[in-house]
Every structure is written in structure tokens, then in C-alpha cells.
């Protein structure tokens, strides 16, 4: 025998009586308990029970109309109800119980400070709202909803595309580090040629051990001629490794790349300081690919990260995220976004970075770059 | 014994005498012949001979200075000389002869009307400037050089990244077509929900044979409920397949996507008219993935193309091209850009589309969409 629900418009829930508590809440994790055996369902929960035929109808208080699934969904005005229902149903289909990420469905203490952006608390398989554990803090958006970088939080982002397919991204604050230590020479002769720098006869170690530059074909060994990017050259110039002025190189960088050059140089420098080797990510459409531990270029391992640099007020389009993450996944690397603040003050203000994120060490090391990885997730 | 060259500043070439014609031109495809055994070399050719040690020095007429490779390259002011030299050397390394794409190095008749954008004529392996055949019409750019869509031409684009690695793209005008013919029903009940359209109980063929929409989980068969994108819905509404007004759907599309919606709808419609099935390319970061021949969704073949829609005055950044083409390659699809003109007049004016491109049929079928594929190439 199945049941009917009644809208409680003040509470914005659907109330179900009879043995609903045992049948739907206790055994299957829908809603939250009220007096006796009655429970309250969020509209998305009620829609799912209607959809499955567990509820026959929901009754409109005002009109007395009996709504079936179709009528209920068409009536439900809440923006994004559609995408939230699709994700709710998909995760139920995958064997998870989940609840709206707020009281009284769950205990707020289960979520971190950023939970106002979380739509659902997804419980570990086999567990429910009462078990005090959360597997995924889930945010749901449509493919056309832009995401300000300042809204990235640890958790899972579910994106529903225009044809209602769902992609899940695992979002994590990162603190990248490596073990590439290098001794740098000094006073190496270098020439600035257009948008690159040529080192005519540097010590081979600069390439072979420290992985700076790219040898000119056929000149790898006896007298290597290294071509360096302007980023590499700026970093080397600042440390007196090459005989070019730091400002000279940076000015050329700004001429050819604008302010983007400064942002990328800060990320390049920070990665080198963290003993990670950044090389161009151009072939992957990224700013850098990185090597955490370079012993020698001749025994180079697979690069681990693809890094894309953005100002920390950047606004992501989900489609661009899908493109970057998909490509990184395809080449067995992790996509990392480096968000560069204009200044500490701004950063604190716009990102609200809190010390309880994994990022706090990073933010000590460099007070104005945040690192976030996005990876494909199959719940 | 090796030789020395002399700058001829008026002609912008380097002249080499003695037996240069036989040694460098006739046997190895450098330069063009002058009187007797003398030849004229483009700076990039002279630089390569210096680089290989085939020329000892080049003499400055004004100063009498003898320049070696390093001095020659540092002296050479021409913008992009660096990137053109790198590509010239790379193709020589790969066993090709190549010449500047102009008289008197080659006969202009070998190049099509668009050759003013071509830097090098690359000859088939084993052939040279005199053999009247061109393997690649090559354009060379640095990774920071933007490419207006209006400058795309059939040929090969060589992009030199900031660390001097080279990527080659094969660029071709396309005329996509398929063989998916479908009978469409009419008057199907549909509801506009936020940014998608739900068909509550359409004939299953609409999904199974024509591949419109996406069934709601668990409703695939007995009474399929199809969710359609706004693009699919607009196309179906215009043909009376669903009981929603075309304008209603298009207005919603513009609300959620702006003018981009109209551009994408024109491409969606054109693809359907060409009997190709477009579905969302979201997971690949593209507008569409396409199926040329859908018999039934249950026996769906691999999709062939990824299509990205741009206005025809779009300006490409090489890095974005690298990202799209790399991703498409990784999933065994071909990246195609659909360039949508604002109007015929504009299109004719800005693209200078000529009837001798493969595009001419396409431009008859639809007077304002150009299709261009970019694919990775290893010369």
C-alpha cells in the first residue's frame, strides 16, 4: 500500500504520515522525523518517492489538488530543482543515501564552515543521516552556472550538462612540493632573442640536472646551446645565473604576454622554490606540466601535474573545467589551478582562505597563491 | 673546404659563390641560382648552413665583419626569425627540403591564392624546389601569435611554444555530411522546465532511432520520459514535433546562454540538415560530438567529430587550439570548428571564401557556416 503526502508550505516540506518514518526515514534515509511516525521531506525527496511510485500523490493545501510526479515537478518553481533532482536520483541509483546539507536533515557540525555552498550531504554506502558520517559534501550546478574561483571548496562538484548527463569533480586544496635540488652556476652568457633567451655555451648540468631550457638540435652535448623561455630566463637572471638583467627579461615578457607574464612568473618561481620543476604545458593547453623529482633529464619520469594559472578573481565556466580535467585525466596527470592574488589583503578578502584547509601551509610558504586540484570522480 | 657568404642588403639575401650552386642548391635544395655558380640564400637558409658548419661566416658589406652563427642570429632583426629558423631546422632534420614560399625560390603557381600567409613551401621527401610539387604549405607562428579565424587556410600550421618545441597542425576546410534519416512524429506533449525540456511520453523512436533527448533513469522503455536540451527542443518545436512554440524555446535559450544560443542552434540545425546527429560535447569541452550515421541508439557507433562553434570573427589563441586538438586526438575524434557568420555579406567580406576551397558545397548548402578541421600532424 502506498501513501500520499501533504505540502507544508510554511516549512517548505512535504509531510507524510502513517508508517512513513519506519518505511522511508529509518530504513531508506528519506526526510527527517516529526511527531510520532510522521516525517518531513524536502521537495527533491518527495519528487523521488513520487517518481518511484512509493508516494501516490502530494496534495496541495490551497487547492486540494492531487499532484503526480509530472504535476509535482512542473509545479516546483525552485530554480535548479531540475538539476538537483537529477543528481539526487543518480546517487540513489548508485546506492547512496543523501540529504539536504542543512538542519534538521543533518547535524550542521558534520559540514565545514563553507557549507552554505553545499547542496547535499552524501553518506557512505550503507549509512544514513543518523550515522554521523559524510562521504561527499556535494554541490550541484548546471553546465551554464559559472563558478567564481573564490567559491571553490573541498568537496565534490556535480555538473549537469544540457542533455542531463552528470559529471562529478573531486575538488581539493593542494600544497604541492617536490625534491628537486639543484646547484646553479653564475654569470652564464645569454642573449635575449625576441621572446626567448639563448644560452650559447652553458654548463650541461643546467639542462641535464636542473632541467632549464631546451638544447638546440644536434647541440645537446659537446657544446650545448640552450633555449630558455622568458620565465626560465627571468628566474635565472634574478639569481645571477645568466648575465641578463632581471628587469630586461621581465619587460620583454610583459611586452609579449602582458600582465599574464607576472602571474605566471610568480607561479613558476613558487614551484621552483617548492623544488618542483615546471616546464611548459603548452602541448596540453596548460601553463605548466611539473616534475616533482628530477634526478637527471635523461632519466626523466612522467610529469605529475598540469597547472593552469588564473587571477584569484577568475570565474570558471564548467565547460572549460570539463575540458581541462578530461585532458589531464587522458594523459594521466592531475589538473591543478594556481590562483594568484593581487595582494595579501585582497586574497584574504576575496578567498576567505581559512586555516583549516589543506592550503594553510601553502599560504604560509607563499601568501598569495592558492592551489586547487580538480579530478574526475565516479561515486 | 667550406665557404663564406656575403650579405646583399638590397635583395635581403646572402650570396655564395664558388661551387655553391652544385653543392647547396642542386644537391640540397638551398637558395636559388644566380649567374654562373652563384646562389642567393634567404637569411634562414644562410643561418642553417652556418649552424651546420657548411658556411664558415657571412660577411657584412658595410663593416666587413665576419659573422658566425651566433653573431648572425643575434644580428638578424626580422621578427619571428627565431621561430622560422627553428621550424626550418626541424624539417631539415626530418629529411625535407623547404624554401621560402615566394618567387624566385619557387614558382608562385605552386601555391593557392592565399599564399601570402604561407612562410615555407615544404617539398615531398626526396624532392626539391625544382620538382614542381609541394607537400606542405607551411605557416609558422609563435605560441603567442593569435590567429583570426578569417586567416585559416588549407595547409599546415607550425606553432613554436615558449620552450621552442614545435607542434604541427593539419588545417583543412571540411564539408561534413551523414546518412541519418529519420521520420519525426508531431504534436508530442512537452514541458519547458528551467533550461531543459521534458517530453513525458513520446514515441520511443524519437530517442531510439533519431537520438533526440536522454531518457530519465528507469523510464527508458515502457513509458520513456525524454529530457531534451533547449537546442534539440528548438529544432523539434520548429518542425511541429513537440507542442511548444519555437519562439518560447528560443527565448529561454537566449535567457540562459545569450547570443551564443542562436549561433549554436544554427550549427545544430545545419548538422541535422546534413543528416548528422549532434549531441552535447560538454564532456569533451566542445559544443557537440557528432554521429554521421545513427541506425539505432542501442547500436550506436563511436562519434567522429568534436565541433566547437565560434563567430567567424573569432580570434584563436594557439594554446586553445593545442588543447582542443590534443583532447580530440586523445579520444580518437577529429576537432572541427564551425565558424558562423553574422550575415552573407559579412562572411564574404571577412573570410574571402573562394570557390576552390572544399568548402564551396558547404557554403551553397548553408551560406554562412564554415567548417575547418585541425589535426595533429607528424611531418
Does residue A279 have an active-site annotation? no
CA distance B73 to chain A (A): 9
H or E, element range at A16:
strand A13-16
Record: contact B82-A193, CB cut-off 8 A: yes
Q: Which of B89, B227, B283 sits opposite A164 (nearest CB)?
A: B227
Q: Which of A144, A195, A319 sits opposite B285 (nearest CB)?
A: A319
Residues B100 and B102: their CA atoms lie apart, in Å, by 6
Cβ-based neighbour number of residue B256 at 10 Å: 17
Record: contact A214-B164, CB cut-off 8 A: yes
- Catalytic hit among A88, A168, A235, A291: A291
Place of cell 559524510: A134
Q: Regarding predicted confidence, which is higher, B379 or B3?
A: B379
Which chain A residues are closer than 8 Å to B284 by Cβ?
322-323, 326
CA distance B359 to chain A (A): 28
Record: contact B163-A229, CB cut-off 8 A: yes
Pick the residue from chain A with its C-alpha nearest to B319: A285
A176 class by beta-carbon count within 10 Å (0-12 exposed, 13-18 middle, 19+ buried): buried
pLDDT score recorded for residue A327: 96
Q: Which of A89, A93, A163 sits opposite B279 (nearest CB)?
A: A163
Across A232-257, average pLDDT: 97
Across A325-349, average pLDDT: 80
Q: Is residue A104 reached through a cis peptide bond, with omega within 30 degrees of 0 on the bond before it? A: yes
Pick the residue from chain A with its C-alpha nearest to B90: A217
Across B144-149, average pLDDT: 94
Beta-carbon pairs below 8 A across chains A and B: 151
ipTM summary value: 0.87
C-alpha cell of residue A190: 645569454
Across A42-49, average pLDDT: 95
Which of A98-107, A253-262, B363-372 has the weakest average pLDDT? B363-372
Residues A185, A203 contacting (CB under 8 angstroms): yes
**Rounded to 5 degrees, what are φ and ψ at B195?**
-110, 30
Record: contact A322-B283, CB cut-off 8 A: yes
Q: Regarding predicted confidence, which is higher, B77 or A160?
A: A160
Q: Which of B89, B198, B323 sits opposite A285 (nearest CB)?
A: B323
Across B158-184, average pLDDT: 94
Q: What percent of chain B clears pLDDT 90, i.e. is strictly above it?
A: 76
Record: contact A327-B322, CB cut-off 8 A: no
Record: contact B163-A324, CB cut-off 8 A: no
Record: contact A73-B193, CB cut-off 8 A: yes
Pick the residue from chain B with its C-alpha nearest to A278: B163
Res. A109 pLDDT band, cuts 50 70 90: confident
CA distance A140 to chain B (A): 15
Which chain B residues are closer than 8 Å to A217 by Cβ?
89-90, 93
What are chain B's domains? 1-78 (3.40.1170.20), 190-350+368-376 (3.40.1350.10)
Record: contact A142-B79, CB cut-off 8 A: no
Answer yes or no: is pLDDT of A121 > 70: yes
Answer yes or no: is pLDDT of B319 > 50: yes
In SS3 terms, chain A reads as: CCEEEEEECCCCEEEECCCHHHHHHHCCCCCEECCCCCEEECHHHHHHHHHCCCEEEEECCCCCCEECHHHHHHHCCCCCHHHHHHHHHHHHHCCCCEEECCCCCCCHHHCCCCHHHCCEEECCCCCCHHHCCCCEEEEEEECCCCEEHHHCCCEEEEEECCCCCEEEEEEEECCCCCCCCCCCCCCECEEEECCEEEECCCCCHHHHCCCCCEECCCCCCCCCCEEEEHHHHHHHHHCCCECCCHHHHHHHHHHHHCCHHHHHHHHHHHHHHCCCEEEECHHHCCCEEEECCCCCHHHCCCCCEEEEEEECCCEECHHHHHHHHHHHHHCCCEEEEEEECCCHHHHHHHHCCCCCCCCHHHHHHCCCEEEEEEEEECC
C-alpha cell of residue B67: 659573422
Across A72-79, average pLDDT: 77
Q: Which of A231, A256, A324 sits opposite B144 (nearest CB)?
A: A256
Record: contact A195-B79, CB cut-off 8 A: no
C-alpha cell of residue B132: 614542381
Res. A116 pLDDT band, cuts 50 70 90: confident
Rounded to 5°, the CA angle A42-A43-A49 comes to 95
pLDDT score recorded for residue B358: 43
- Dihedral (Cα; A236, A237, A239, A241), 10-degree rounding: 70
pLDDT score recorded for residue A3: 83
pLDDT score recorded for residue B272: 97
Which chain B residues are closer than 8 Å to A164 by Cβ?
196, 214, 227
Answer yes or no: is pLDDT of B273 > 90: yes
Across A74-101, average pLDDT: 90
Record: contact A280-B191, CB cut-off 8 A: no
Pairing mode, if any, of strands B55-59 and B3-8? parallel
pLDDT tens for each residue of A340-371:
997 544 433 333 333 444 444 444 444 589 99
Residues B83 and B88: their CA atoms lie apart, in Å, by 9
Rounded to 5°, the CA angle B183-B188-B193 comes to 125
Q: Of B224, B267, B225, B261, nearest to B246 (Cα)?
A: B261
Q: Which of B229, B279, B285 sits opposite A326 (nearest CB)?
A: B285
Which of A337-341, B113-117, B305-309 has the weakest average pLDDT? B113-117
Rounded to 5°, the CA angle B56-B129-B43 comes to 35
CA distance A18 to chain B (A): 28
The gap from C-alpha A72 to its chain's centroid, in whole angstroms, comes to 34
Q: Which of B73, B165, B319 sits opposite A214 (nearest CB)?
A: B165
CA distance A277 to chain B (A): 14
Res. B145 pLDDT band, cuts 50 70 90: very high
Does residue A291 have an active-site annotation? yes
Record: contact A229-B200, CB cut-off 8 A: no
Residues B338, B377 contacting (CB under 8 angstroms): no
Q: Of A66, A161, B34, A223, nearest to B25 (Cα)?
A: B34
Q: Report helix, strand or coil for A67.
A: strand
Place of cell 588545417: B171
Q: Report helix, strand or coil for A296.
A: coil
Which chain B residues are closer than 8 Å to A143 by Cβ?
282
pLDDT score recorded for residue A111: 78
This prediction's pTM = 0.90
C-alpha cell of residue A315: 570565474
Packed helices B230-238 and B246-257: angle between N→C axes, nearest 10 degrees:
160
CA distance A196 to chain B (A): 7
CA distance A320 to chain B (A): 6
Record: contact B327-A323, CB cut-off 8 A: yes
Which chain B residues are closer than 8 Å to A322 by Cβ?
282-285
Does residue B32 have an active-site annotation? no
Amino acid at each position: 500500500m502506498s501513501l500520499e503526502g501533504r505540502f507544508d508550505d510554511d516549512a517548505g516540506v512535504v509531510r507524510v504520515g502513517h508508517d512513513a518514518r519506519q518505511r522511508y526515514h529509518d530504513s531508506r534515509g528519506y526526510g527527517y522525523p516529526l511527531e510520532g511516525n510522521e516525517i518531513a521531506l524536502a521537495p527533491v525527496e518527495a519528487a523521488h518517492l513520487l517518481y518511484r511510485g512509493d508516494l501516490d500523490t502530494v496534495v496541495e493545501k490551497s487547492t486540494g489538488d492531487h499532484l503526480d510526479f509530472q504535476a509535482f515537478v512542473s509545479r516546483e518553481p525552485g530554480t535548479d530543482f531540475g538539476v538537483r533532482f537529477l543528481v539526487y536520483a543518480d546517487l540513489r541509483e548508485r546506492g547512496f543515501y543523501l540529504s539536504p546539507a542543512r538542519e534538521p536533515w543533518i547535524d550542521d557540525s558534520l559540514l565545514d564552515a563553507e557549507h552554505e555552498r553545499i547542496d547535499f550531504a552524501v553518506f557512505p554506502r550503507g549509512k544514513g543521516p543518523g550515522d554521523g558520517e559524510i562521504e561527499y559534501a556535494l554541490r550541484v550546478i548546471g553546465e551554464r552556472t559559472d563558478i567564481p574561483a573564490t567559491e571553490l571548496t573541498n568537496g565534490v562538484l556535480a555538473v549537469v550538462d544540457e542533455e542531463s548527463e552528470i559529471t562529478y569533480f573531486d575538488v581539493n586544496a593542494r600544497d604541492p612540493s617536490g625534491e628537486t635540488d639543484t646547484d646553479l652556476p653564475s654569470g652564464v652568457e645569454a642573449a635575449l632573442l625576441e621572446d626567448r633567451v639563448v644560452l650559447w655555451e652553458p654548463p650541461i648540468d643546467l639542462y641535464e640536472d636542473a632541467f632549464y631550457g631546451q638544447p638546440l638540435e644536434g647541440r645537446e652535448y659537446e657544446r650545448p646551446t640552450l633555449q630558455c623561455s622568458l620565465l626560465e630566463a627571468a628566474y635565472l637572471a634574478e639569481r645571477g645565473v645568466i648575465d641578463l638583467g632581471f628587469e630586461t627579461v621581465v619587460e620583454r615578457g610583459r611586452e609579449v604576454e602582458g600582465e599574464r607574464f607576472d602571474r605566471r612568473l610568480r607561479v613558476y618561481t613558487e614551484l621552483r622554490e617548492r623544488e618542483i620543476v615546471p616546464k611548459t604545458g603548452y602541448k596540453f593547453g596548460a601553463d605548466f606540466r611539473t616534475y616533482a623529482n628530477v634526478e637527471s633529464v635523461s632519466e626523466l619520469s612522467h610529469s605529475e601535474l598540469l597547472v593552469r594559472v588564473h587571477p584569484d578573481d577568475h570565474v570558471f565556466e564548467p565547460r572549460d573545467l570539463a575540458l581541462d580535467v578530461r585532458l589531464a585525466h587522458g594523459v594521466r596527470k592531475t589538473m591543478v589551478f594556481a590562483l594568484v592574488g593581487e595582494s595579501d589583503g585582497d586574497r584574504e578578502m576575496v578567498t576567505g582562505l581559512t586555516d583549516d584547509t589543506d592550503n594553510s601551509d601553502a599560504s604560509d610558504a607563499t601568501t598569495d597563491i592558492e592551489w586547487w586540484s580538480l579530478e574526475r570522480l565516479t561515486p
